[in-house]
Amino acid sequence: DETEDQLTTTFHAMEVTSSSKTESISKAKTVQSSQIQIVTDQWGNRYEGQSKDNNMHGKGTFVWGPDSQWAGLKYIGDYIDNKRTGQGVYIWPNGNRYEGQFKDNNRHGKGTFIWAPDAKGTYDKYTGDWVDDIRADQGVHVFANGDRYEGQFKDGKQHGRGKLTYANGKIQEGMWSNGTFVD
């Protein structure tokens, strides 16, 4: 996606700093040691972690800066050639959290998303499959009110065979379409 490409490109247009000298490449600042690189760009985005050939590569932490459209979002995890790929954690400023697998900057594979707690301290939680940043295939969604859906998902919604067990014990089992029970 275009925005992700901007973030990737940003990493390349930075200033490299070592303990002995600084070479100016752009307006951003980078501190580099033999293993860890610290990079801050013009939007205040900050990367601290391993790098290879001037790319984020290995373990690292990226925090989106105050001038970014994702201000305060944080990613801790694996990078391959400037892309979030492997195991990682997203932490949103509002308290939402995802922990699981990533591929090419998207949540992809197995993972758990926990929504920020509401005023009562309760929260929704989804554990299951992700495809290109969307809940898909098999998963379990436990709702803040105690309801629990276990089954198939498509495009982030209950779709296919599934079972919804309400907090009061009532069960709705069968086919779902686009988030609605149909049979």
Check the CA dihedral 33-37-43-45 and report its sign: negative
Same domain for 13 and 82, yes or no, is yes
Same domain for 85 and 125, yes or no, is no
Query: Which pLDDT score, from 0 to 100, does residue 54 have?
Result: 87
Which residue from 59, 34, 45, 35 is spatially nearest to 12, judged by alpha carbons?
45
Domain count, the chain: 2
DSSP assignment of 97-112: EEEEEEETTEEEEEEE
Q: Write down which residue in 76, 93, 110 finishes a domain.
A: 93
Same domain for 46 and 86, yes or no, is yes
Same domain for 52 and 17, yes or no, is yes
Q: Give the C-alpha separation, 154 to 87, whole Å.
A: 23
At residue 166, does pLDDT exceed 80?
yes
Query: Which pLDDT score, from 0 to 100, does residue 2 have?
Result: 37
Same domain for 163 and 86, yes or no, is no
The model's pLDDT over 92-139, given as tens digits with 9 standing for 90+, comes to 999 999 999 999 999 999 999 999 999 999 999 999 999 999 999 999
The model's pLDDT over 31-58, given as tens digits with 9 standing for 90+, comes to 554 478 999 999 999 999 999 988 999 9
pTM: 0.80
Query: Could you list the residue range(s) of the whole structural domain that residue 38 is in?
Result: 1-93
Q: Give the C-alpha separation, 142 to 114, whole Å.
A: 10
Same domain for 66 and 132, yes or no, is no
User: What is the band of 74 on the pLDDT scale with cuts at 50, 70, 90?
Assistant: very high
Same domain for 80 and 147, yes or no, is no
Is there a domain that residue 101 lies in? no
Q: Give the C-alpha separation, 42 to 10, whole Å.
A: 9
Do 15 and 28 meet the contact criterion of CB atoms below 8 Å apart?
yes
